[in-house]
Amino acid sequence: MIRLSNVSSRRGAFALQSIHLEIADGEYFVLLGPTGAGKTQLLEVIAGVQGASSGEIWIDEENVTSLPPEARHIGFMYQDYLLFPQLTVRKNIAFGLHEMPRADANARVEEVARLLKIEPLLDRGIVGLSGGEQQRIALARALAPRPRVLLLDEPLSALDPQIRRELRRELRSLHEELRVTTLHVTHDFEEALALADRLGVIHEGRIVQTGMPDEVFRKPDSAFLARFLGVENLLRGNVARCDPPELHSGGAFEAVFEAGPLKLYVIAEQEGPVYAAIRPEEITVSGEFFPSSARNRLEGTVVSVEKVWPLVRLTVNVGVPLVAVITAQSSESLELAAGVKVCLTIKASAIHIF
């Protein structure tokens, strides 16, 4: 458990201001914020490598505010991993096990390396390893001493997109297995949705909102948040494989996404509870259905019409509210107004599943 109450910290012109945050045992909490919002500084204050000018930091019912970093038992991973370049992979992972008897330390290194699938790298040097390999090693090094909490500073953002998705899934499954209380900061909302049990948003040194991911995304409580998040249609639901399964390249498959009364055909890479995001401009609005390749056809009633010249922002109730954006001209020719029945068409590939 991590609890921050009224924590402030100043570094140069930048300050964290009265941060309140509580992360439950075993929770995976993602703090989302743009570059320069104070994410790294907050992690450093929790780890104890930067001081807090006021407030209290609690970890597992212990007030650690005045403890040095080495007494806090925290796993910390920086964005650029910061492996020790003079040491082998094995010695990097064993770095935090210096107080253990050597045999135990060796066994622990092997165990963590197996967990992160980096056993073949153990006796190599750091120079020349790929970003993904370095990320796993840094994670192994942080996890080896069995920290009480894990702090991850943009752990995926230095990787290329393919590896990023893969490691994102692994971070999640690693968390399912180990259940270490985790605070992960990022500027990438896809990452936040894919990983977070709960979510917070940080802006200019303040935490502006916390909650379940869909709450935060659907009801951003400030103009900044709405702009920063930029997702208007976010649905929480369940994804299940179509029968018979039809495989696409790269492990993706056709599936059905269900969120309450709504059922959508989607392309997914995983089953189970997920988030689906649809950009408003990906939704086609028409008076009646027309022949098309799009697999999702929904009937609904217009709830509101908002003119944002030269566009019109339309909220349509199809069981859940969906936002669509069309041109003013189309809106006029369809004679759209609140209460009018319309048809929505969405391509399965336009629905993003996290």
Partner 1 sequence: MKKPSRLDLIFSLLGACLVLFLLAPLLKMLLGSPAGELHDALTDGEVRSAIALSLTCAFWATLIGTVFGVPLGYLLARRSLPGKHFIEALVDVPVVIPHPVAGIALLLVFGRHYFGGQFFSRFGLTFVGEVPGIVIAMLFVSSSFLINAARDGFRNVDPRLEYVARTLGYGPLGAFFSVAVPLSWRNLLSGAIMMWARAISEFGAILILTYNPKVASVLIYDRFSTYGLKYALPPALALVLLSLSVFALLRGISLQRGQGRAA
- Residues within the interface to partner 1 (CB under 8 A): 44, 47-49, 68-70, 72, 74-76, 78, 82, 84-86, 95-96, 98-99, 127, 141-142, 145
| Residue 46 C-beta: closest distance to partner 1, Å | 10
Please state, in angstroms and rounded to a whole number, the distance separating the CA atoms of residues 351 and 208.
28
Q: Which distant-in-sequence residues (6+ apart) come within 8 Å of 173 by Cβ?
A: none
Nearer residue to partner 1 within complex by CB, 40 or 330 = 40
Please state, in angstroms and rounded to a whole number, the distance separating the CA atoms of residues 149 and 143.
9
Nearer residue to partner 1 within complex by CB, 58 or 95 = 95
| Residue 297 C-beta: closest distance to partner 1, Å | 53
Nearer residue to partner 1 within complex by CB, 145 or 300 = 145
Nearer residue to partner 1 within complex by CB, 85 or 245 = 85
Output the six-digit token pair for 86: 């003079």
Please state, in angstroms and rounded to a whole number, the distance separating the CA atoms of residues 141 and 180.
14
| Residue 299 C-beta: closest distance to partner 1, Å | 56
Neighbours of 114 (CB within 10 A): 11
| Residue 112 C-beta: closest distance to partner 1, Å | 13
Nearer residue to partner 1 within complex by CB, 180 or 192 = 180
Closest to 156 in 3D by CA, of 136, 176, 126: 136
Residues in the chain: 354
Give a three-class secondary structure readout of 74-136.
EEEECCCCCCCCCCCHHHHHHHHHCCCCHHHHHHHHHHHHHHCCCHHHCCCCCCCCCHHHHHH
Nearer residue to partner 1 within complex by CB, 99 or 288 = 99
Nearer residue to partner 1 within complex by CB, 67 or 262 = 67
3-state DSSP assignment of residue 277: strand
3-state DSSP assignment of residue 270: coil
Nearer residue to partner 1 within complex by CB, 47 or 208 = 47
| Residue 170 C-beta: closest distance to partner 1, Å | 21
| Residue 100 C-beta: closest distance to partner 1, Å | 10
| Residue 79 C-beta: closest distance to partner 1, Å | 10
Alpha helix stretches (DSSP H) within the chain: 39-47, 89-94, 102-115, 131-143, 161-178, 189-195, 213-218, 223-229, 328-333
| Residue 76 C-beta: closest distance to partner 1, Å | 4
Q: Which distant-in-sequence residues (6+ apart) come within 8 Å of 223 by Cβ?
A: none
- Sheet containing strand 262-268, edge to edge, reads 262-268, 253-259, 233-241, 272-278, 351-353
